[in-house]
Amino acid sequence: MLWVKALHIVFITSWFAGLFYLPRIFVNLADEQNPAARERLLGMGRRLYRFMLPLAVLALAFGLWLWLGYGIGTGPGNGWMHAKLAIVVLLMGYHHGCGRLLAKFERGENRRSALWYRWFNEVPVLLLLATVLLVVVKPF
pLDDT above 90 as % of the chain: 99
Which of 139, 15, 129, 11 minimizes the C-alpha distance to 66?
Answer: 11
- Domain tally for the chain? 1
Distances in whole angstroms, Cα of residue 109 to Cα of each of 62, 79, 104: 37, 42, 5
**pLDDT mean over 81-109:** 98
Task: Give me the helices (H) in the chain, please.
Answer: 2-31, 35-64, 70, 79-107, 114-120, 123-137
In which band, very low, low, confident or very high, does the pLDDT at 132 lie, cut at 50, 70 and 90?
very high
pTM score of the predicted model: 0.94
Distances in whole angstroms, Cα of residue 57 to Cα of each of 41, 72, 79, 88, 139: 25, 19, 24, 12, 27
- Alpha-carbon gap, residue 43 to 38, rounded angstroms: 9
Q: Are the beta carbons of 56 and 89 closer than 8 angstroms?
A: no
Q: According to the model, what pLDDT value does residue 93 have?
A: 98
Q: According to the model, what pLDDT value does residue 27 have?
A: 98
Could you report the per-residue pLDDT of 6-40, keeping only the tens digit for each? 999 999 999 999 999 999 999 999 999 999 999 99
**pLDDT mean over 80-93:** 97
- Alpha-carbon gap, residue 3 to 6, rounded angstroms: 5
Could you report the per-residue pLDDT of 51-61, keeping only the tens digit for each? 999 999 999 99
Q: Which domain holds residue 118?
A: 2-137
